[in-house]
Chain A
Amino acid sequence: MRVISYSKAINETLHQMMERDDRVFLIGQGVTSPWYVGATTSDLLQRFGTQRVIDTPVSECAITGASVGAALAGMRPILVHPRMDFIYYAMDQIANHAANWHYMFGGQLSVPMTIWGIINRGGEQAAQHSQALQAIFGHLPGLKVVMPSTPYDAKGLLVSSIEDDNPVVYIDDRWLYEIMGDVPEELYTVPIGKGALRRRGRDVTVVATSYMAQEAIKAAGILEEDDISAEVIDLRSIKPIDEDLIFDSVRKTRRLVVADGGWKTYGVAAEISAKIGESGLFNRLKAPITRVCLPDVPAPASLALEQIYYKNAMDIVDGVKMTIGGDYV
């Protein structure tokens, strides 16, 4: 197989999907910019022209609503928000309109659109240029939410998102863009709603999302040196969640750590913990669940604070050790 970067995988998918399906078009801020969305949109404008590669004014609400309308009228828009933080202006169109349309009209109409939100944090950018909003979208009925962590999934989940007849929020992270991995040249899908078992282990299950899934694999390597065998599940889909995969693993390891790059409070990790808490596995856990997420704090600017704020493999290692030998109150 061929090894390419995560951002190249997205770029290739956009080329191939737009080539294959006339209904697909790309719209949003920065799709013709040399830097705004990394290299993910390279050469699309040259190839498909301004009718299908639409760089937009700074009008998140209207452009998102326009994408909903285009989807209702037979197109398959890929709408990019180059930073998730800017999506708030568009929340009404996403939450009240795109997400509800199918249900609200008794299943007669659907909104097949991909809402692509990029997490772009660090570098002393502070609270308005850093947010990871998967939990907010996961909370809303009518939206599917995916977060690929590898180049292979970046491609396969993007194809699935575009092909899906519902609004799908596709979330990637700029910290993943340079990661290299095997990616087939031809189009393929990764099913929405299925997680991936990245590493087998006996002692603890680590369920992780997006960038934290990469960190979880590193953490498992570090833990091995201490004779701790961690099983790593890359969630891939925030909604629907692959409950079976998680339950099967926890049934075996009887310990759970959840690592997510969003805020801990009311977050993705909270949802997974609740699912275990509601299940028969609750009684079988050997230790309380540990969540490795952001504290309930906006992103600070100072690098000195960013270094503690954002979580990494070592935080997962610590989380695992807590479930194995920690003192709980």
Chain B
Amino acid sequence: MSAEAPIPDAALLGMHQNMVRIRKFEEKVADLVTSGEIITPCHLYIGQEAVATGVCASLRVDDYVFSTHRSHGHYLSKGGDGKRLMAELYCRANGCSRGKGGSMHITSPDIGLPGSSAIVAGTIPIAVGSALSFSIQKRDSVSVSFFGDGAVDEGVFYESLNFSALKRLPVIFICENNLYSTHMPISDCISDTQIYKKAEPFNMPGLRVDGNDAIEVFRAARWAVERARAGEGPALIECMTYRWRGHVGPNYDIDKGLRSEDELKYWMSRCPIKFLEETLIERGVLSLSDKRQVYEKIEEEVEDAVAFAKGGPFPEERDLSKDVFKM
């Protein structure tokens, strides 16, 4: 299938719902952090929804994705249960990591999310390794590594590109370039900020897409996934996007002089959800009443998730030393 092949309406509507789901979930989390109900440090995905959505829409359930500290969008997009995610943010025993991991360490092994790491670039080589395993097992699954522009600062990023290209492994590197790494703008961190070009010296295709355009992300991901499944090796896709909130927590980080209000406003005007909605309405795929229903259904879902989380038990004292090893 070429990158231009048509995308079924159902897939487009699924992507729309997924993006709304992430947005509403994250807005709720922001409120709960503000009110002090959620303590675990949350790195919100608001503004970046199109990336995880477009990428995961190109995957099967047996494909793996590995995530970072900014993990909620990846989890929901891969099909993780929002209830168990919310419960993990409440650090309850019914959370997806049973209250041991918190926001930065979430997992849903059944749907192909073996984990997320708060160590920058920590999961890049791990994604490579799972692709190695698929290739040894002669499975046609692929592995996706999500990481930020900050991870490109780490040596292990380059080592991983090289090894995966050398062995033609079925791994797709998705760099979410949101222009910042904590308090630092990307130009203070990377000498050549065209991250997609870092693939070339490893004989790997690298491309840059508009990370706020779910359809464009999906097309690029579908292309890379098909190549990888066919044994043609890895690819690097740089998705240009922006996080609306600050590095961590619900604030916007403009008061601290780290970025300008104009910049934030510009990116908010390029809202990935609004963008897809306009396209779908224009094409007659989504009606206004459908759209309203989507929002209503998802808002209900989010409330259910909060209720599930709050109703969950706290881990007990005996859980502390449980699970250090597999018994």
Contact = CB atoms under 8 A, between A and B. Distances in A.
Q: Specify whether A and B are partners.
A: yes
Interface of A: 29-30, 32-36, 55, 57-62, 85-86, 88-89, 123-129, 295-298, 300-305, 308-309
Given A59-B154, A59-B155, A296 B324 contact: yes
A174 B61 CA distance: 42
B153 interface: yes
Q: What's the dominant secondary structure at chain B's contact region?
A: loop
B262 interface: no
Given A125-B41, A297-B321, A302-B92, A30 B183 contact: yes
Q: What's the dominant secondary structure at chain A's contact region?
A: loop
Contacts of B314: 302, 304
Contacts, number: 121
B3 interface: no
Nearest to A58: B153
Contact of B153 (A30, A59, A129): A59
Interface of B: 39-41, 88, 91-92, 97, 99-102, 104-105, 117-122, 150-151, 153-156, 181-184, 188-190, 256, 258, 314-317, 319-321, 324
A46 to B, nearest CB: 13
B104 A126 contact: yes
B154 A58 contact: yes
A65 to B, nearest CB: 10
Contact of A57 (B88, B101, B117, B189): B189
Contacts of B321: 295-297
A126 B101 contact: yes
Contacts of A86: 119-120
Contact of B102 (A55, A61, A125): A125
Given A128-B117, A301-B99, A123 B39 contact: yes
A231 to B, nearest CB: 31
Top 6 nearest A-B pairs (CB, nearest first) are A301-B102, A57-B153, A124-B40, A302-B91, A302-B99, A304-B314
Contacts of B156: 89
Given A125-B41, A297-B321, A58 B189 contact: yes
Given A32-B183, A33-B183, 5 more contacts: A57-B190, A126-B101, A127-B105, A296-B321, A300-B319
